[in-house]
Structure 1
Amino acid sequence: MNVLIIGAGDIGLQLGKRLSKDKHDITMIELKEDKVKRASEQLDAIVIEGHGAHYGVLQQARLENAQVVAAMTDREGVNLLASKIAKKAGVPTTIARVRNPEFIAPDFILKPEELGADIIIHPEKETADAIVRLIRQSSATHVIEFAEGKIQLLGVRLERGSPLLRTPLIDLARRYGDPPLRVVAINRNQQTLIPKGEDRLLPGDQIFVICDPDYIPKFISYTGKADTKIEDIMILGGGLIGQFVATCLGKEINIKIVESNAHRSEEIAEALPGTLVIHGDGTDIDLLATEGIVDMDAFIAATGDDETNIIATLVARHLKIPRTIALVNKIEYLPLTPTIGMDAVVSKQLLTVNAVERFIQHQQVTTLASVPGVDARFVEFVAEEHHKITRKPLKNIQFPKNAIVGAVMHGDQMIIPRGDTQIAPEDKVVVLTQTEALEDVEKLFQ
């Protein structure tokens, strides 16, 4: 597929890397010379220096051949204008990144297509939604929803003393009565393993489990953990992410926001009257202590500075705050965060790339996600009558060895599939696949 990406910032660059791996043909437009050079060095793509909303530059990038235009600059006016030009030129799919919350409000006067974009992506809202899921499932390192929330993927780190350790997975299933869940991946020593029945879990493993949402509390108890009841949260950083989280949780949880900018603090206090807003330096331990950080059930570091977020989160961990979540955007930092004891980490760049890629992939893909440090994709397919996957039971299908079917949604029933399970048309199928097997998995859904 020919994809034109506008903007070679952190999000555009990561999107280009992901789509190049998936063998799409990438062309990129970037205004700044240093970012053009970086993209040219790191991507297998045509990179053009110029303004992404200038028609002449878009023509130079062969706009007429593009099947998707993804406008990912940090200027929403440029993104929306580029999308509108692309749509007028006949591009089938246009995706625009925005920052103004009004554009994604249900009651906004203009629909996305009237703005020129088929899909509007709001990175800060995507990130806030991920943080809210982690607050509501407080023992997890990651939470991803499939089948409109009827299937959930949990990431959980196993501590020493967990009852699940050093027992073959097949024996664990028997011990707990074949529960409605499946361990689909193990992250161990920065390597991603797709487990088999005889594999055993070890201390420090980060396991990824696909589970019926109603069964999650019981599964958490099996791991030896307990969900913390969260009633008080401190958020470091009053930007859009912090404000979205406070808006979503403010009616059920007591929230304090620590913001270093005096003017923004006043604006937040006016916009969120139920939230306590503190003007001060969030890295000042004395300030945090004065404002009661030790009494918090959760601490969220969501400033625009990765180093501040990491340091503040480690301080919160040292103070035994039960739940900590950090925003970390530098991709090179992400594999290191578990090794320094960070609880849960979200990346605005990766969440945005996941959201964009979901729309670029084939129509039968309804959810597509990747997780920092995990060499695999989590994909939800919708099976159709002519697909190869529906022709015979799973045990008779040559399924790639680097992939696993985690769950099937058949009507309103979630099924943990076995060898004799046969996928039916309209079933929603959640698959974990390592990158090298993705193309072979997609062929089964064609």
Structure 2
Amino acid sequence: MRIIVIGCGKVGRKIVEELCNENHEVTVIDLKKKVVSDVTGNFDAMGIVGNGTSHVVLKEAGIENTDVLIAVTQSDELNLLCCLIAKKAGNCSTIARVRNPMYNNEISYIKEELGLTMTINPEEAAATEIARILRFPSANKVETFAKGKVELMKFTVASNSKMIDRTLEDIASRIQSRALICAIERGENVFIPNGQFVFKENDIVTVVCPPKDAKVFFEKVGIKTHSVKNAFLVGGGKIAYYLAKQLLSMGIKVKIFESDIVRCEELSELLPEAVIINADATDKQILKEEGLENSAESFVALTGIDESNIFLSLYAKKKSKAKVITKINRIEDNDIVNDFNLGSVISPKLITAEYIIRYVRAMQNTIGSNVETLYRIIENKAEALEFHICEGAPVIGIPLEKLRLKNNLIIASVNHKGKIITPNGKTEISVGDTVIVVTTHQNLNDIKDILM
């Protein structure tokens, strides 16, 4: 597809990288010449230095033949204006990043009036991801497929786990669960396991199953499954606000630590059910007095400084049994951050890029590809894809055990007329099914691509 990306900050750059990797024709627009040169020098994209609200600039970028315009500048208003002009000039699909909570209650009206295809609020999206994890704190990450009927969860094998030194075949026979273990991270390596795979401490395991079966699986492998009863949020910014609203609606008690007294007063008015504490949470004594060591069930580091969040999370991991979640802004440091034991790591910028890329893939599905959903479950190493099975697909009506599947690939779930099937060798795929595939191969666009 032909795609224009306006704004080449960290989010824009990440989006361009992903789109170019998937062979889209990408043009970037930014006011800064150095930024445009940097992006076009590193990725196979065209670049234009200029204002994305200019009709002349958009015309030079080829707006009349563009499929999607993505506006991710630092200004909400500029993003909305870019989309409005693009819609009039080229009648393309438009996606805008809109961050200000002031627009939150009006976003449906704005989308309708401006003809926007999609809006994304990074802070609200990050809050939703965190809330999903706190609902199931044993998981490091939770994603959904098949319109919520299937969940993909990641968890770490703890030192006291029943899984250690056992084969996948042994565990599967003991627990008799509908959950399917489909990928394991061990250090720098990623495995799509077979029955003889042996689990070790600190392995990060990816499981696919219906939500109601996840609880049973975790209990059978000896992992607690109850949602948290309280949450310590350090930092009172936008994410803390959105997250507190969601947690309070779930019946979870919330304490927010914020050093700015003015912001504390604002939060007290916005979140009357939450406990707002005007204090610098990097002061360990404050956390101790408020019960971190004895009563905290979850701890979320949300300050604006990555280093502070890392140290706070490490301290919380050391002093409490709380589920720890760490917000990281610098997405380019992911490889370094993953070496720390920070619990679940959340990056609003990365989530924003993933949401937008996911939508672009869904659009592409309507014009050729039959990939409905794609998640990078392990950055640049493994993907989970949801395929819609169309008439004539070469996998229809053949038992899975007879399909010549590529190595390092597993069919993790089949949605047949709304019924979720954990497949075995006898399972057959039918027209109209949606199939979840987990693989280390990249750029699979069609179900036929899973075959050798």
Same fold at TM > 0.5? yes
Structure 1 pair 442/262, CA: closer, same or farther in 2 (3 Å)? farther
Query: What SS does the aligned partner of 1:265 have?
Result: helix
Q: Under a length normalisation based on structure 2, what TM-score does the superposition of the two structures give?
A: 0.91
8 Å CA contact 1:158–1:223 kept in 2: the answer is no
CA distance in 1, matches of 2:448, 2:73: 30
CA distance in 2, matches of 1:417, 1:404: 10
Q: For structure 2, which runs of at least 5 residues remain unmatched after alignment? A: none
Query: What SS does the aligned partner of 1:339 have?
Result: coil
Q: Which residue of 1 aligns with 2:440?
A: 434
Q: Which residue of 2 aligns with 1:238?
A: 236
Q: Does 1:140 align with 2:139?
A: yes
CA distance in 2, matches of 1:426, 1:331: 38
Q: Does 1:249 align with 2:247?
A: yes
8 Å CA contact 1:403–1:437 kept in 2: the answer is no
Structure 1 pair 289/327, CA: closer, same or farther in 2 (3 Å)? same
8 Å CA contact 1:163–1:222 kept in 2: the answer is no
AA aligned to 2:66 is A
AA aligned to 2:143 is I
Q: Which residue of 1 aligns with 2:99?
A: 99
- How much has 1:435 moved relative to structure 2? 4.6
Q: Which residue of 2 aligns with 1:151?
A: 150
AA aligned to 2:265 is E
8 Å CA contact 1:400–1:437 kept in 2: the answer is no
Q: Does 1:380 align with 2:378?
A: no
CA distance in 2, matches of 1:229, 1:15: 33
Q: Which residue of 1 aligns with 2:274?
A: 275
Deviations along 1:164-187, whole A, 9 cap, x unmatched?
22232223222223x201111111
Q: Does 1:408 align with 2:414?
A: yes
- How much has 1:146 moved relative to structure 2? 1.4
Q: Under a length normalisation based on structure 1, what TM-score does the superposition of the two structures give?
A: 0.92
Matches within 5 A, 1:5-154: 5-101=5-101, 103-105=103-105, 110=109, 112-154=111-153
CA distance in 2, matches of 1:433, 1:120: 30
- How much has 1:85 moved relative to structure 2? 1.7
CA distance in 2, matches of 1:326, 1:354: 18
- How much has 1:228 moved relative to structure 2? 5.2
Task: Tell me whether 393-402 or 119-128 shows the greater mean CA deviation.
Answer: 393-402
Q: For structure 1, which runs of at least 5 residues remain unmatched after alignment? A: none
Q: Does 1:221 align with 2:219?
A: yes
Q: Which residue of 2 aligns with 1:399?
A: 405
Q: Which residue of 2 aligns with 1:198?
A: 196
Task: Tell me whether 415-424 or 9-18 shows the greater mean CA deviation.
Answer: 415-424
CA distance in 1, matches of 2:402, 2:151: 27
Structure 1 pair 83/436, CA: closer, same or farther in 2 (3 Å)? same
Matches within 5 A, 1:293-442: 293-294=292-293, 295-361=295-361, 362-363=365-366, 364-371=370-377, 373=379, 375-390=381-396, 392-436=398-442, 438-439=444-445, 441=447
Q: Which residue of 2 aligns with 1:208?
A: 206
8 Å CA contact 1:184–1:210 kept in 2: the answer is yes
AA aligned to 1:421 is T
Query: What SS does the aligned partner of 1:380 have?
Result: strand
Q: CA RMSD in A?
A: 2.3
CA distance in 2, matches of 1:120, 1:388: 37
8 Å CA contact 1:389–1:444 kept in 2: the answer is no
- How much has 1:90 moved relative to structure 2? 2.9
8 Å CA contact 2:136–2:227 kept in 1: the answer is no
Identity among equivalent positions (%) equals: 33
Query: What SS does the aligned partner of 2:286 have?
Result: helix
AA aligned to 2:243 is V
CA distance in 2, matches of 1:365, 1:270: 45
Task: Tell me whether 376-385 or 389-398 shows the greater mean CA deviation.
Answer: 389-398
Structure 1 pair 134/374, CA: closer, same or farther in 2 (3 Å)? farther
Deviations along 1:70-125, whole A, 9 cap, x unmatched?
111121111111112222223432111111345454x7561514223111111111
CA distance in 1, matches of 2:157, 2:380: 16
Query: What SS does the aligned partner of 1:418 have?
Result: coil
Query: What SS does the aligned partner of 1:250 have?
Result: helix
Matched positions, count: 443
AA aligned to 1:266 is E
CA distance in 2, matches of 1:405, 1:351: 25
8 Å CA contact 1:67–1:92 kept in 2: the answer is yes
Structure 1 pair 115/437, CA: closer, same or farther in 2 (3 Å)? closer
8 Å CA contact 2:395–2:448 kept in 1: the answer is no
CA distance in 2, matches of 1:374, 1:46: 23
Task: Tell me whether 11-20 or 327-336 shows the greater mean CA deviation.
Answer: 327-336
- How much has 1:411 moved relative to structure 2? 2.4
AA aligned to 1:237 is G
